[in-house]
Amino acid sequence: MDNLNEIDIILAKYLRMLDPTKAGSKIACMEIVSDVLLQHREIVTRKWLSGVLTTLKSKGFTTLTVVNPKMHSPEEVEALRGLFDGEIKVTKRETAQGTKRTLRIEKLLNHECSEAELILPK
């Protein structure tokens, strides 16, 4: 997390190794965003993510990230939210059957989202 340039270099090397003729979906999940945000704050993180997302999108990737909103201020989370084409929230809530995890699609580019939540199985 200390040096975002090193992460960019490793990513570039990896992307060069991919076979461009290989068909199929390409998905990248970035689980380090909360750590980067803690260390580098929202301005640097947003600038860095903007470049990474552009690179991955140009290579045909769908990019996901995991951000723990309890680790950051609402302003920090909001600074990053607009960079992504969609947002999915997994939360816990109390039901008559006990605590359940729910999934809700908050936004998805070019799609209208339902208000409904999906209760996730254990």
Question: Mean of the per-residue pLDDT values for the chain?
Answer: 89
- List the Cα angle 52/58/60 in 5-degree steps: 105
Using 50, 70 and 90 to split pLDDT, how confident is the model at 21?
Answer: confident
Does residue 2 have a pLDDT over 80? no
Strands 26-30, 61-65: pairing kind: parallel
How many H helices and E strands in the chain? 3, 5
pTM metric for this prediction: 0.80
